[in-house]
Structure 1
Amino acid sequence: MMTHTYLLLYVDSPATSAHFYSRLLDKPPVELSPTFALFTLDSGLKLGLWSRHTVEPSPQALPGAAELGLAVDNPAEVDRLHQRWSELGQPILLAPIALDFGYTFVAVDPDGHRLRVFALTLD
C-alpha cells in the first residue's frame, strides 16, 4: 500500500534549490542535506530536490522536459503569484494568459524546471 506520493526533481545544488523553493512556497524544507531537500506541499505531495550528481542511475532527461503544476482556486490568485514571483526576480516563460484549460503562467526554477501556476476554467 502506498502512503505518500513524491515528485523528485534533479537539481544541481539542493541547498540553492531549497532556498529558491522556500521563498516561492513560503515554507522551509522539512528535510535538508547536502544531496537532498524535501518539502511537503499543502496538498500532501512531497517535493524532493535530489542532487543530479548523486542520483543512481544517472538521469538522462534535461530539465524542462516536464512541468510541476500548481493549481490555485481562481485567476486572481494566478495574478497574485505572478506578481510576487516576478518581484522575487523569478524568470517567467509565459505571462498570465487564458488557455483552453484555464488561466495560467509559467516560470522556471534555477535548474530550468518549468513551474506552471493555473486556475482551471469550470464550465
Structure 2
Amino acid sequence: MAAPNMIIIYVDSPEKSVGFYRQLLGVEPVEQSATFALFVLSNGFKLGMWSKHTVEPAAGAAGGGMEICFPCEQPEQVDAFYQQWLAKGLAMIQPPVAMDFGYTFVAEDLDGHRLRVYKLND
C-alpha cells in the first residue's frame, strides 16, 4: 500500500496562505497559482493549499477542520516555538500545557486550521 506523503488544506486565499506559511515554515512554495500552492519541506512532507472556492469536486468543509502537527524533541523547543510564533502574531488558542500525551500548544492559521507543536512524553 502507498504511504501518504502530502496533505491538502482548503483555504480562502492561496496567495494569503502562501504569505502566512512562507513566514511560518521559512521556505518558498514549489508551486503557486491563483487557486493552488504547494510547499515541500526538507523531510519530504508536502503541504498543499487549494482554494475552497475552486476545489473539485466541491467540498463542504469551510476550513479549520485540520490539525498540522510539529514535533519537538525537548519541552524547551515547544516554549521557544510558542514565543517565536507569538512574536509573529499567530492566533494562539491553547498556551503551552502538559497534557496526557505530552507538552503542547496550539495556534491557528488564517483559515482556522490548527497548528499543534508538541513534545511527546517519554
When normalised by structure 2's length, the TM-score is: 0.93
Question: How many Å separate the matches in 2 of 1:3 and 1:66?
Answer: 19
One-letter identity of the residue aligned with 2:111: D
Name 1:54's counterpart in structure 2: 54
Give the total of aligned pairs.
Answer: 122
Question: How many Å separate the matches in 1 of 2:91 and 2:107?
Answer: 6
Question: How many Å separate the matches in 1 of 2:62 and 2:35?
Answer: 19
Native 8 Å contact 1:4 1:46 kept in 2 = no
Question: How many Å separate the matches in 2 of 1:117 and 1:62?
Answer: 23
Name 2:30's counterpart in structure 1: 30
Question: How many Å separate the matches in 2 of 1:3 and 1:104?
Answer: 26
Question: How many Å separate the matches in 1 of 2:36 and 2:103?
Answer: 33
Aligned-pair RMSD on alpha carbons?
1.5
Name 1:64's counterpart in structure 2: 64
When normalised by structure 1's length, the TM-score is: 0.92
Offset at 1:59? 1.4
Name the % identity: 49
Native 8 Å contact 2:13 2:51 kept in 1 = yes
Question: How many Å separate the matches in 2 of 1:113 and 1:4?
Answer: 19
Counterpart secondary structure, 2:37: strand
Counterpart secondary structure, 2:8: strand
Per-residue deviation, residues 60-107 of structure 1 (Å, max 9, x unmatched)? 123232311111211111111110110011000000001011110000
One-letter identity of the residue aligned with 1:112: G
Question: How many Å separate the matches in 2 of 1:94 and 1:4?
Answer: 28
Name 2:108's counterpart in structure 1: 108
Native 8 Å contact 2:39 2:48 kept in 1 = yes
Counterpart secondary structure, 1:85: helix
**Structure 2 unaligned runs (5+)?**
none
Native 8 Å contact 1:38 1:49 kept in 2 = yes
**Structure 1 unaligned runs (5+)?**
none
Question: How many Å separate the matches in 1 of 2:88 and 2:113?
Answer: 17
Offset at 1:45? 1.2
